[in-house]
A and B are shown apart, each in its own frame.
Chain A
């Protein structure tokens, strides 16, 4: 476990790079869903469908020679249009229709990609591979690499600064010394993780040419996750975001005050869908192949889990939720090495059970998620 935090062994570094990429991608997925559910109150149980549309859109286009950034944007747009269709079909009906239809639509997407042959006449079920990956042939000179280090360090530095700021403000407001110790510990661990992440990405960028595929994706996904984060943070703090929150609280009030609730719900579904589609492109790139089976509903539930874990309605919370989810998954992956006498399948089952227990515990003791505001939940409606 500690090797992940301190070791400079190249295998471990690569593994942590992979982990960071994963966290960045799932953070994007969580941020998209959070805009829809956390801020607007729209239940989207079809995250996997949005991811699939973004992933397949990007992959298929890029295989036909469309440059990757454009292919990715189109993938995102297709996912947004997917959201538009779902919204138009259901948003005028009762609330629960969206939830039901998103489940069905995601399944529909999976069946389509399973049965259509989208590339070279090969059957969809065998998946697609060999598509272009971002920065895979990039040969940055030393100055470019320093620039990349600087950019990523900027991202982690900003996160560290925000964390410190948050910790200091919270320390000023809590009284009990037990809480102070707890808060200091949490902030400390967070800072340690961020510093380690920065060290790892710095090493990765400096030695970019050692593993261009992994490092290129690492660079792009961290940067894109940061961009998406800034995008949604700016949006939810704007008057536009205020309307979304009002709809989440009570859409009748929003209507009575002149807000076009239907239009805002569509916008939320589409922008959230766009973000999910972009994340879908990264999801495909990271696996370097896409199979219909990668887009089953467990993907949807994992994104819901990490969002609820961090605190729906809080973007930093969702980012932290993604980190905890993947750190947990990674650490427990090694359990089978510690207990060789227990079959791996049982350990895997236990890992899922434990996450379930963790969530139940969270719902009992911190229903607002790790970063959510408890006061918000106890408010009478």
Chain B
């Protein structure tokens, strides 16, 4: 039961707004962990701090035992922790397939001079990446769209694309920011199934979500954030019956 990710005492303020105020969080290796809280609680900011898209004012983030709070975002991703965005970001003028191919790690062809010196190896890697990307696209139901521009996808499809793209990078931990928001119910069920399927393959998840059915159905543990602080942590059942949590949500 070791933690793959742990954050201690994270602080971030924007001018006068204390968005995250000494909050902690832990993701157990192999788990699906939830992060919930009312709107404006600081969940997205917390994600940004974990992935260092925003530098914390204070606090420690550890991933697989190493401090990552001073690491540049792309280095964190390379270490095996990939995030998605609350508003899905498709690379519009790239095809859906290219969106996935981009996520492949350690590509020889991303070093420009190797484009000539190692062209055979690059062609081979591209073929392997393509096969894998097609597999993922098939599993998230986007294979028909493989060669379409990603900018033409619907909101729900973009969410799927982001998750697929994150998967493509073979991460150990994926941070999902509201994967079910704006997605139709059938698709939500599908997304949940993929998350469980990939989780069984050993990938850990940290999920921000407002849809309680999703949180209750998926998560092993849930952290609750309110006004930038930890409010509660426990199993979904415990959280559901926690008076403080209910109060925060009802805006007491």
Contacts and interface: CB of A to CB of B under 8 A. Distances in A.
A245 B169 contact: no
A240 B115 contact: yes
Interface of B: 51, 53, 72-75, 77-78, 82-85, 89, 91-94, 98, 101-105, 107-112, 115-116, 122, 125-126, 149, 151-152, 165, 169
B93 A376 contact: yes
Nearest to A243: B110
12 contacts: A239-B122, A239-B125, A242-B102, A246-B94, A256-B73, A257-B74, A257-B77, A259-B110, A267-B112, A271-B112, A376-B93, A379-B92
A375 interface: yes
Interface in A308-331: 313
A258 B80 CA distance: 9
Contacts of A235: 112, 115
A243 B152 CA distance: 20
Interface in A290-340: 313
Interface in A212-271: 234-235, 238-240, 242-243, 245-246, 248-250, 252-261, 267, 271
Interface in A357-381: 375-376, 379-381
B101 A245 contact: no
Nearest to A239: B109
Contact of A257 (B115, B126, B151, B169): B169
A234 B115 CA distance: 8
A375 B112 contact: no
Given A255-B53, A256-B51, A379-B149, A245 B93 contact: yes
B82 A257 contact: yes
B89 A379 contact: no
Nearest to B73: A255
A260 B74 contact: yes
A21 B73 CA distance: 46
B77 A375 contact: no
A245 B110 CA distance: 12
Most chain B beta-carbon neighbours within 10 Å: one of A234, A249, A271 = A249
Given A235-B112, A245-B93, A379-B93, A252 B85 contact: yes
Contacts of A380: 92, 151
Contact of A246 (B73, B83, B91): B91
